[in-house]
Structure 1
Amino acid sequence: MTVALIEVTTTTRSFLMRDVDNRINRLLTQEAGEFAGFEEGGDPATGAPFSSARQLLKDFLERQNPDADEELVGLVRGTNGGLSQLRQPSDISVALPLHEDDDAKRRIFDSPDSTGTLHRPEGEIRWAKVTVARAGAEPDAAFVVAFHPQPERERVEKVFRTLLIISGVALLLTTGIAWVVAGRILKPVRVVRVAAAQITEQDLTRRIPVHGKDDIAALAETFNGMLDRLEGAFAAQREFVDDAGHELRTPITIVRGHLEVMGDDPAERDETVRLVTDELDRMSRIVEDLLLLAKTERPDFVVPEPAQVAELTADVFVKARTLGERDWRLAEVADVESELDFQRITQAMVQLAQNAVQHTMPGQTIRIGSRVVGPHIELYVADSGPGVQPADAEIIFERFRRGTARRGARGSGAGLGLAIVKAIAEGHHGQVRLSDTPGGGATFTLVLHASPAPERQDT
């Protein structure tokens, strides 16, 4: 409001100053035009041309009534080069009027211009001049209209100061009213704050009471919704810890059990070592996946760089072919360059390919491809397996959750693969999408925003 009031007052002052300047210009033009017309009309008494410049100036000035702060002066050059003046008395409230300033009169009379501004320490003068001269001779007289703008400008400044005072008083009144009203409005917010302070990490079941349907009630509902999400997040965290403990406890139990019953038979020892090594490898993969998922919270988890999507797709296809004896097909490639993390996207696509292998039998088709769809780049892996049950579609991207329709190789994973894929997609501000493959199967698609790579400048 302060800025608005200042803008209004300064704009008003500017308009008033401009109006003063325009009024002065119109007045000078009007007075000069009236004198020129009077001169052309001749002596009103006889109708003949004026006999002398002095008589012309005298007759014209007698018929004029100057405005306030305006001077009408007739200047006549004498035989000795000096100037004599005729003027119509006016109400002038300036320190040094023009008719008392000989230097100013001389400068205006000698000026080749018909209008101008005279800057003096005693105050500015805006003037217009109409010269009177015999044919072919130097001007021997001139009619001068002089206006002193300083009083007008002081009146504008007085109006400006009055507006500032009124605006200041209005601002103080508005501030006081706003302070009282804001206090009443924010009182329910303080109630919400006190209630929120009583909610602790150990007790997330408390909720803020909601009264009415105003903005504060909406705030309380939003806060309660946030608490619901926090409670769900803490529950998921506890579930995650429990699941992680269970997943790690199982291979440890298996290793311990085999070691405890291991005998001296070399064949039995070899089999035990193989089983123990397999379980230790599985536990190592679980730990690595957990560490990777922990890194997804870091800002440097994804480091986008200019990358060729076609090259990335082909690279994924070559690596995926070693995962199992399937009918691998490179469906299509998007020949574009985009900002993405080549290694992370490759990791996600290979994980999707591994997931497709686990849900298909040898000889079944798995298609890998990439395409540009509007403002997005889509990289997908489509298998021809049994597909994903609708009930599983909601949970398979969660940690330690597996689908029920698993075929092919035995499921040795911990249910973290698709969670990692989801984290990589979200790290690129994208998403992973699940859909049915035409003819049967599941299609997993990474949907990424097509961020064009910056142009390289050769040096």
Structure 2
Amino acid sequence: MSRIHAPRKLRTRLFVGIAATVAISTIVMLAVGSALTRRSLDEDARRALIRQVDLIAAQHVSSPLPRRDSDIGRFLATEEERLAIVTPEQAELLLPGGAADRLRRSGRAVGTVSVRGEPFLYAARLGGGDAIVLLRSTHNQSDDWTPFLVGLALAALFGLALAAGVAFLLARAVARPVTRVAEASKQLAEGGEPDPLPVEGSTELRQLAASFNELSEELRRAQDAERAFLLSVSHELKTPLTAIRGHAEGLSDGVVDPNRAGEVIERETHRLERLIRDLLDLARLRRRSFDVALAPVDLGVIAEDALARHTPQAEQYGVGLDVRIGSGASAIADAGRTLQALSNLVENAIRCTPQGGVVVIAATPGRLMVTDNGPGLAVEDLGRAFERFYLWDRYGADRPVGTGLGLAIVAELAEAMGGHVTVASTPGAGSAFTLVLEPALLSDRTAYARLTQR
């Protein structure tokens, strides 16, 4: 219910807010319009009375209307108007206070007056020695502007209805994209993968949809990277455990020198500790890649460590394992990560090499190469060999290829150390994987030992 209720509430509030604003504006407009209309009609009525009284005055000057009684004056009346022709002195009694003074000074006066409790609009003019006063009932004046008021009211009602429809459409247009974002956010929070939102509407709504799409995509990538990292670390845990188990079994069988086995077990324990630290770093810092500490390293030493680590495995598979170290075989790298990457290459090579075959580890300046005489890779597979799970999907049913993560981890480690990894292969004749790192010029093992001891 909450998923539907909130968007509807937003749409309702938008509709009510817009409609109320329009309604208040319409009422204010109607009130102001009515006042201005009435004022305009009153002014028109005054001007009309002035024109009429001027016309009567002009006619009276040229052809005076006779009075029945000079003391009383002459009074004429219709349903709408009343006409009085009186002396200026009598006009003072008929007109309100200041009107008579204005009439004497300017010969003309206009305004309102109450006759027997009934309001009248009047216009007065001097002409032919008489004061001509024309009055019109304000009740008739109200009748004149009532149709205008009715017209304004009808127009306001029509405007309100139209505004209500526009407010509804506008509220729905604004609320619909927000509704989509709310529903997609809820789906995302529940662990789903919502479809990308359409980027449409106003600038702000387009930015909202685009930002949500970017957030959703970034979260998906982050989850994929985190999941891949956890898989990688889990995969890496197997290699030192295999070495520890192999030497432990050799100790039990009495076929491995205890001192040598102790060294290997201790070294592999350190590898395990480092992998566990990676997991702890991921949990604390939300990191999604391996950390590296670059320094000059002796690739020959790393190759010999890999030989010691994987000899039991090679013997178990019936595969020979050989190391060839060239002069000046050094690089700028992380020793532990380099051994980790090399171990993955050696492990894959041993697994794929048929019984009786040989795996060769070659160390040269800035390079570690692992060569085998296994089944090799097809030409179309070389460009994707380091993709996660690609070789497992490709050859998992035909040959032992592990979990499909080892080569991908090698590529990630090489990139983290500023290098890269390449592969050359001939189907049926074996493969050669090369870890390429930045060379470091170390004259001999003694110099390397001094560097690593600091």
- Give the shorter-chain TM-score range: 0.3 to 0.5
* Structure ranking higher on relative contact order (CA contacts 8 Å, 6+ apart): 2
TM-score, normalised via structure 2 length: 0.35
TM-score (norm 1): 0.35
Report the structure number with the largest CA radius of gyration: 2
